[in-house]
Amino acid sequence: MIVVLSRGISEHDKEMVRIFLKDRGFKIREQILGEDEILGATGKAPVDLRELGLLPGVERVAATSNPYELASRETKSEDTIVTVGPVKIGGSRISMIAGPCAVESREQIMETAARVRESGAVILRGGAFKPRTSPYAFQGLGMEGLEYMKAAGEAQGMPIVTEVVSPELALQMKDLTDMFQIGARNMQNFELLKKVGSLGKPVLLKRGPSATIEEWLLSAEYLLASGTRDVVLCERGIRTFETYTRNTLDISAIPVVKALSHLPVIVDPSHAVGIRAKVSPAALAAIAAGADGLTVEVHPRPDEALSDGPQSLYPEQFERLMRDIEALAPVVGKELLRTPRPRIGIALGGKSPGEKGPAEKRGLAGAGGSAPLPVAFSGESGAFAEQALMRAFGEETPRLSAASFGAVFTAVLEGTACAGVVPVENSLAGSIHENYDLFLRFPDIAIVGELKLRIVHCLIGDEKAEMDTIKIVRSHPQGFAQCRDFLEKYPAWQLEACNDTATAVASIVREGATKVAAIAGEAAAKIHGLKVLRAGIETNPLNYTRFLIIARREGAGEAPQVPPSLGSEPPNKASLVFSVPDTPGSLFACLKILSEGGINLSKLESRPIQGQPWRYLFYVDVSIPESGGVFDRVMEELKTRTEDFRFLGAYRAPEGGSLASGAGKQT
């Protein structure tokens, strides 16, 4: 049983609640869960929950049907997001942990850390203390190895996770590791669980090879009850009769556990299959099943590894796996997490180490201890733009709801928002020209990032609404266009356009309308308390919208202010707009300059020039070669053949539609 206490409860009232429970034979443990202070009461004594709920200082009482109360979704319905340094595990992210099975030397862990970081891993794994089946096998380098690993993590800007094997070592390791790992063999070492939990650090809890899901969650309960708030569950395969793989990866455990518990779930495909060639397929299957991340063993020379070499990936194999995950992530509605890397020297649009950037000088984005500025999006809570914003910046980022796309640009320009998120193109309905045109109206705004979000439309209505009672359907015009085939089946419905899909949903609540439905995402339905009448009504399931992240330029000729959360990867894509003389071959001459410079053209679209009938601007997306000097020379030459040339921004656009950002520059 969980007793949630009111905020600001007095010590007297809290003690009276304790006495009430103890007098009835309950054992009590105090815990902070999210923002709530709770009392966990265990026992089989009868109690009147209504009487308990009426005590002063009691906000609510939750009687769970599971023996794992703190880990249960009955206690906490929303997903827990575990923070490990700059890394968030859970929610809409896929977090990648990678590194060797064991730390073998300083050189080995430094090399491995650099290679996995380059591919996109955000947490470094490795064993300093290795519990092995054979007493003669390599047992790890101990505290010396942990110090090597800590140095490697700091060099690459990665927090580290390592296994703790005894309560005595936990205290010694506390200051050197960012996250404790409880190995499969120690899942039910309850004294170890209690000690590690009491230290309050994040914990990665692996499932034992013969453990049931309930036993696994009860081990998590030990950690939560002992004091830590941050527990990540790790499925690593269970022991079955099959011998073709090291263990049997229990894929079904992922959706089962996510339904039972609010804790994030990741998968260790390396230990699950134990065979290098099988690791990547198992990893992709885990992501498809809903895992919040992976922990993968990678070694620069697996054949020389002192531990688990046959299941360790070569760095090149890990790189390919990361690319596959990046492509798969949007399909399952998630985003591959990227974190800022340490900056060495001066990068494109960047700054020297220790130098304050424009955001820090002006107190933006939480720099200098100030409160972080919000990120702006168009529409009400639940809009697809808000979902894209959370993918790019994280669920905890302050958000500013703007009334229109123009209002988003204005908020960024005036400094009331540190960045903005705007849609520019849909894979089915085409370009959103209003936002392309806004870049001309706001020359001090630049593009600093890109995100592609899969759009799943639902027909949403009041709890009393039914399909045969609907008379009016509201949505953004793009929503109607993307659901054309579905709407054609109901020709009697009257379509009413709104500024955005979430506003359409909110209007139903405000009006209490039972004969009005809206086309929007499922998130909008949940936020506004409405029901989904029909899900997945878009004409084509391959329905994606491309969003751009915008920020303000600091001044003429200067780079835009890039929010720190967008990272520091060098840009590989740029957007520009220009007009050409009204002479034969003028556009061809511009395209020839790009071609001869080795610049790939990924988008070319014309837009009318306002006030100049039959004259056009050309919006262009191009690649940026690794050699920045070539790109700069091509841009300078292009200016000589165009009339109105504007550089909209340089940014990172990884394969698979994920977000990353460059520091954007003005050419």
Which residues have C-beta within 8 Å of that of residue 135, sequence separation ≥ 6? none
Choice among 129, 377, 393, 547 that is catalytic? 547
Q: For residues 387 and 290, give the distance between their C-alpha atoms in angstroms, rounded to a whole number.
A: 18
Could you give phi then psi for residue 118, rounded to 5 degrees?
Answer: -60, -35
Could you give phi then psi for residue 61, rounded to 5 degrees?
Answer: -125, 130
Contacts of the segment 39-47: beta carbons below 8 A, 24+ positions apart: 39/2, 39/3, 39/5, 40/1, 40/2, 40/3, 40/69, 40/70, 40/225, 41/1, 41/2, 41/3, 42/1, 42/69, 47/1, 47/21
Angle, to 10 degrees, between the axis of helix 106-119 and the axis of helix 315-328?
A: 30
Choice among 112, 339, 545, 642 that is catalytic? 545
Can you list the positions of beta strands (E) in 133-283? 160-163, 179-182, 203-206, 231-235, 265-267
The distance of Cα 97 from the centroid of its chain, to the nearest Å, equals 14
Q: Is 517 helix (H, G, I), strand (E, B) or coil?
A: strand
Asked if residue 12 lies in contact with residue 33, where contact means CB atoms within 8 angstroms, the answer is no
Q: How far is CA 172 from CA 55, 199, 533, in A?
A: 43, 11, 56
Specify whether the backbone of 182 is left (phi greater than 0), alpha (psi in -120 to 50) or beta: beta
Q: CA angle, corner 378, sides to 451 and 387, nearest 5?
A: 45
Could you give phi then psi for residue 516, rounded to 5 degrees?
Answer: -115, 135
Q: With CA atoms as reference, report the closest residue to 486 among 463, 503, 470, 464.
A: 470
Could you give phi then psi for residue 534, rounded to 5 degrees?
Answer: -155, 130
N- to C-terminal Cα distance for the chain?
62
Q: For residues 148 and 138, give the distance between their C-alpha atoms in angstroms, rounded to a whole number.
A: 17
Concerning whether 667 is annotated as a catalytic residue, the answer is no
H-helix or E-strand containing 506? helix 501-511
Q: How far is CA 646 from CA 348, 444, 602, in A?
A: 19, 11, 17
Which residues have C-beta within 8 Å of that of residue 83, sequence separation ≥ 6? 89, 202, 230
Q: For residues 404 and 426, give the distance between their C-alpha atoms in angstroms, rounded to a whole number.
A: 18
Could you give phi then psi for residue 37, rounded to 5 degrees?
Answer: -95, 125
Concatenating the DSSP letter of every residue in 478-490 gives HHHHHTHHHHTT-
Residue found under tokens 């992530």:
329
H-helix or E-strand containing 225? helix 213-226
Concatenating the DSSP letter of every residue in 409-436 gives HHHHHHTSSSEEEEEEEETTTEE-HHHH
The distance of Cα 369 from the centroid of its chain, to the nearest Å, equals 24
Concerning whether 486 is annotated as a catalytic residue, the answer is no
Asked if residue 17 lies in contact with residue 39, where contact means CB atoms within 8 angstroms, the answer is yes
Q: For residues 209 and 191, give the distance between their C-alpha atoms in angstroms, rounded to a whole number.
A: 19
Instruction: Report the catalytic residues.
Output: 545, 547
